[in-house]
Amino acid sequence: MDGILNDELIVRLKALRIEHRNLDDEISQLMAETPYVDQLLIQRLKKRKLWLKDAIVKLESKRIPDLDA
């Protein structure tokens, strides 16, 4: 069961990392295209990117086994 759960976490992590990278590219492209960028759109994209980063960190921490001290 742990193997299946771990595989699902890996797949989810990959998907989140791809979305995070795509958002980064999209933000960079929007900022480079024109000096008059929709700031509200940029803010929303950055907020989504931050949420993705937090989700990635949480999933990565789930992959670390709990060790009894």
CB atoms within 10 A of CB 53: 14
d(CA 12, CA 4): 12
Question: Mind listing the pLDDT tens digit for each residue in 22-52?
Answer: 999 999 999 898 778 888 999 999 999 999 9
Question: Mind listing the pLDDT tens digit for each residue in 53-66?
Answer: 999 999 998 887 76
CA-based R_g, the chain, Å = 16
Q: How distant, in Å, are the alpha carbons of 2, 19, 66 from that of 8?
A: 10, 17, 18
Q: What is the pTM of this model?
A: 0.79
**C-alpha torsion sign, points 23, 27, 28, 29:** positive
